[in-house]
Copies of this chain bind each other. A is one copy, B any other.
């Protein structure tokens, strides 16, 4: 049996989850308690010590992240359950320590499965969110937006830009590309002007934000 506590500010929704989890005969989920805001959630979780907490992201008193923050990292695993699939909600919740994130469109059997998996230590994400999380993890956001600016650079300027952004000194870039320091300076002037930046430090941040390193 996997023990859970349900945290959501809507009593009706909690009742629905409870009904779904208990609907199937031989369900592997045992509901130890419920809570409707941050304070009661912390109290209920501390008291019942469930293996998994079903946690609403938008919760009065600071949101689900606040519950995780107050409880810290003990052995309870959190499964976020939200109507929202917004990037900031997902990121914030995962940063807070949740082991999974599913939307409320989930069916009863799927939720049971997700709970069991989270209890086992698996990471569980809804299909829509899986793509998002993996994209973020792979660091490939905003690849398209880069090209507009980047296309305005010549091939040589891009080479110089890449090395400078990695922290190479002008002298080192010159040696690497078999050109003089003065030529590197010329290219860098063009790069900074075209990208509307004013120093190599800004360039480093610019490239880093776009993951061009």
Contacts and interface: CB of A to CB of B under 8 A. Distances in A.
Interface in A29-75: none
Contacts of A188: none
A203 to B, nearest CB: 10
Query: 8 shortest A-B CB distances, which residue pairs?
Result: A121-B127, A123-B130, A167-B201, A95-B138, A123-B125, A137-B137, A122-B130, A94-B138
Contact of A204 (B126, B131, B138, B204): B204
A99 interface: yes
Contacts of A137: 94, 133, 136-137
A128 interface: yes
A205 B122 CA distance: 33
Contacts of A122: 124-127, 130
Q: How many copies does the complex hold?
A: 2
Interface string A126-151: 11111101101111100000000000
A208 to B, nearest CB: 6
A161 to B, nearest CB: 15
Interface string A91-110: 00011010100000000000
A164 to B, nearest CB: 9
Nearest to A96: B138
A127 B120 contact: yes
Contact of A167 (B123, B129, B134, B205): B205
A122 B133 CA distance: 11
A159 interface: no
B99 A134 contact: yes
A176 interface: no
Nearest to A138: B95
A153 B130 CA distance: 40
A128 B127 CA distance: 21
Interface in A170-194: none
A126 B94 CA distance: 17
A124 B100 CA distance: 11
A88 to B, nearest CB: 14
Nearest to A124: B122
